[in-house]
Structure 1
Amino acid sequence: MRILHIIATLNPEAGGPVESVRVLLSYGPIGYVGEVVTLDDPEAPFLRDFSFPVHALGPTRTVYGFNSKLLPWLIKNRGRFDGVVVNGLWQYCGFAAWRALAGNTPYVVFTHGMLDPYFKYAFPLKHLKKWLYWVPAEYRILRDAYRVLFTSTAEKRLAEQSFWLHRWTPYVVPYGAKNPPDKPSEILKEAFYEKCPEVRGKRFLLFLGRIHKKKGCDMLIQAFSKVASKDPELELVMAGPDQQQWTATLQTMAKKLGIAHRVHWPGMITGDGKWGAFYASEVFVLPSHQENFGIAVAESLGCAKPVLLADKVNIAEDIAHDGAGLMEQDTLDGTIRLLDRWIAMSQQEREAMSQRAYECFHRRYDMRENAIAIIRLFESATVHPEEPISANGKQ
């Protein structure tokens, strides 16, 4: 099955959607093969290491991502693909796909959490602007898609709260991450220590993701300052890209709270270094105010590392139910409780939770199942179009 992914950028700093595309297109042996069209500059250095064809039509200068090459390219090439996956909302990629593909080639839209009502309340002016685009464009893109993909029933339910005008055919797909590399964990740890040598031989909590306000980074630093005296040997690693230029403010906060020497900022970590960070850590922490999934959460579980999550991470309840991590509210008090509960656990309890984390990943979050689900979707679209598929993926 040949599938095209449309995505605005393949820059790894853009977060989870980029990683999901990379992982999905690595499953050639199960019949999931394809290509990517993106609005990146073809000379961008991050495009050099992909193992699948990438058609970079940029550079594109605007936030909306208008590109005069995209629509003609899609019309010319749509016949080569069994189906198309549009990754994300609110950009020209989706509009061009709708114009080129509706009534011709089946396409699905992967929302990647971009319909969460959190954004409506956190950024009301932006939401008002989105209404102006929703009625003539985005609503129609979703309405005419073969399926609109969500990573959990919680995300699917929340999406219906963002705009009162909505009608689409939802589909919940299994989601997750790729298995850790088949390399000794000590080699992977060394790759991480090269990026963050100051925590070699130390115990630390790991935050790995964008340094972004919605991720609750400020709450995590404040919470750590409240519990630091209870476990003097515990450190905190804040790893990830900073597109909002927020790190300096957070570092000042840590200094004022007297914990700057115990908080470390290695920046963005990829490849073996990223996996080494999971293996070297004691536990992964994500006190996010909004997270439709969180690929780093699944990656941590795949490394047999428990996770401490805010309740606004849509998969937190399932993970807590499995005993693979802890969940509290996305508040300062909730984040303090997360850290307190972890510190209070015995070594035996932590080891048992690590085993459950590993089992949880393989039961729930192996990305191969996502690839299989998308293949079946497009097979149904082209072979049995008269048989509708429910939101749970059953005919």
Structure 2
Amino acid sequence: MRVLRIIPTVDPAYGGPLHSMNAISEEMARSGWENEVVTLDPPNSQWLAQNPVPATGVGPGRGSVGYTSRLGQWISDNAHRFDAAVVHGVWHWASVGGGRGCRRSGLPYVLYTHGMLDPYFRQIKPFKHWIKQAFWGTQGPVLQHAHRVLFTAQQEAEAARGGFIGPKYREAVVAYGASTPPKSDPSARIASFQAKLKLTADQRYFLFLSRIHPKKGVDVLIEAFRRSAAADFGLHLVIAGPDPDDMIPELRRLAQTAGLTGRVHFVGPLAGEEKWAAFEGAEAFTLITHQENFGVVLAEALAAGTPVIATRRTNIHIELSKTGAAIICDDTSASAGQAIATFLALTEDKLAEMRRAARAGYEKRFTIRAAAQDLMAVLQEAKDTLR
């Protein structure tokens, strides 16, 4: 079966949706399914050739949503090569133009919302919500005519209901997951990463790895770290990820004001073995987010055997709690600071137990295989329904 993926970009900075799309596509290939990608990237984008799943760019588009008629035309010209499509996200032309193109061409499709219907956004930007409501007349029919609109947690699906006035859609909750570290011995890559940070063998660190964005709560994390770990001079905080909003200068000033100079490390985006080394070498993975749909990085941390400290604003916080490898808190510096203090007070035996539970929890709930199987089932259903 051949599947078309429609996504705004294959720039790695796009984050979790792209990385999971590629990992799930590679898992589907093991069952003989072929995936191909069309994006709003310009045809000469360096990311197209580097993407592990074959990708074509039909951009760039115009305006804030990236409008281009070339997307619909490309789908019309190529729809005969595919059995079904997956649209990734909302509020951009890859979603609207992609969904319209599939419908005109008779190509059945499903749509991942990737957390973009979360009511959090309505709460923090009410004016922008009404702009989205106006756009729902354009976006809503794409969801309405999808075979299924896919959510990756029951909490996400329930929270999204009734968010906009207009067309309804048929939802489904599917598994979602993350890939695993390389099977080679992690010792060498961990040592290399620690050397990059200029950390000695007895110095430890908490890790944040994600897009640096106001909703991710990096400022709250730094303050929580100051509250509970400032006196432990052997403990550091590593902040990794792209910074599209240029937040790092202000975060550096915040760390300096908190008396953490030299102990908060901004290392930029990480990929490949270096990314996995960061996970594997961390005491804990910390995501003090104000809103998170699934959080691929949380599943990756568990896959690396690393405990997590995360907030109730993460839609999978209940699933994380059930693994026995997570401490869940509110998205405030006081609550996160208490979570960090609780973690630091754990005995070595309890820490070892949490690390074992992390990997076991990943295997039970967050594997790429489970995500691929669920997606293949709903795509096969979409294809069969069209007959």
> TM-score when scaled to structure 1?
0.93
Counterpart-to-counterpart distance in 2, 1:276 and 1:60? 37
Counterpart-to-counterpart distance in 2, 1:292 and 1:32? 27
Counterpart-to-counterpart distance in 2, 1:312 and 1:281? 22
Please list every run of 5 or more consecutive structure 2 residues that lacks an aligned counterpart in the other structure.
Answer: none
1:2 matched residue in structure 2: 2
User: 1:61 offset after TM fit, Å?
Assistant: 4.9
Quick one: percent identity of the two aligned structures?
A: 35
2:288 matched residue in structure 1: 287
User: 1:229 offset after TM fit, Å?
Assistant: 3.8
2:118 matched residue in structure 1: 116
Q: Deviations over 1:325-352 (max 9, x none)?
A: 1101112221111111101111111110
2:17 matched residue in structure 1: 17
How many residues are treated as equivalent by the alignment?
A: 385
1:133 matched residue in structure 2: 135
2:68 matched residue in structure 1: 67
Q: 1:191 to 1:173 in 2, by over 3 A?
A: farther
Counterpart-to-counterpart distance in 2, 1:161 and 1:326? 31
Q: 1:77 to 1:385 in 2, by over 3 A?
A: closer
User: 1:162 offset after TM fit, Å?
Assistant: 2.3
1:364 matched residue in structure 2: 365
1:219 matched residue in structure 2: 220
Aligned residues of 1:328 and 1:335 also touching (Cα < 8 A) = yes
1:390 matched residue in structure 2: none
Q: Deviation above 6 Å: which 4+ runs of structure 1?
A: none
User: 1:320 offset after TM fit, Å?
Assistant: 1.2
Counterpart-to-counterpart distance in 1, 2:295 and 2:72? 31
1:57 matched residue in structure 2: 58
1:33 matched residue in structure 2: 34
Q: Describe the SS at the equivalent of 1:65.
A: coil
User: What does 1:97-116 correspond to in 2, within 5 Å?
Assistant: 97-102=98-103, 104-116=106-118
1:391 matched residue in structure 2: none
Q: Which moved more, 1:36-45 or 1:245-254?
A: 36-45
1:152 matched residue in structure 2: 153
Q: 1:191 to 1:123 in 2, by over 3 A?
A: farther
Q: 1:275 to 1:225 in 2, by over 3 A?
A: same
User: What does 1:1-395 correspond to in 2, within 5 Å?
Assistant: 1-27=1-27, 28-102=29-103, 104-134=106-136, 136-193=137-194, 195-198=196-199, 201-384=202-385
User: 1:215 offset after TM fit, Å?
Assistant: 0.6
Q: Describe the SS at the equivalent of 2:239.
A: strand
Amino acid at match of 1:279: E
Q: 1:114 to 1:90 in 2, by over 3 A?
A: same
Q: Describe the SS at the equivalent of 1:189.
A: helix
Aligned residues of 2:10 and 2:51 also touching (Cα < 8 A) = no
User: 1:166 offset after TM fit, Å?
Assistant: 5.0
Across the aligned residues of Structure 1 and Structure 2, the Cα RMSD in angstroms comes to: 1.7
Aligned residues of 2:308 and 2:327 also touching (Cα < 8 A) = yes
User: 1:195 offset after TM fit, Å?
Assistant: 4.5
Q: 1:166 to 1:292 in 2, by over 3 A?
A: farther
Amino acid at match of 2:176: Y
Aligned residues of 1:195 and 1:273 also touching (Cα < 8 A) = no
Aligned residues of 2:49 and 2:55 also touching (Cα < 8 A) = no
Amino acid at match of 1:113: G
Q: 1:191 to 1:24 in 2, by over 3 A?
A: farther
User: 1:225 offset after TM fit, Å?
Assistant: 0.7
Aligned residues of 1:117 and 1:161 also touching (Cα < 8 A) = no
Aligned residues of 2:293 and 2:314 also touching (Cα < 8 A) = yes
Please list every run of 5 or more consecutive structure 1 residues that lacks an aligned counterpart in the other structure.
Answer: 387-395
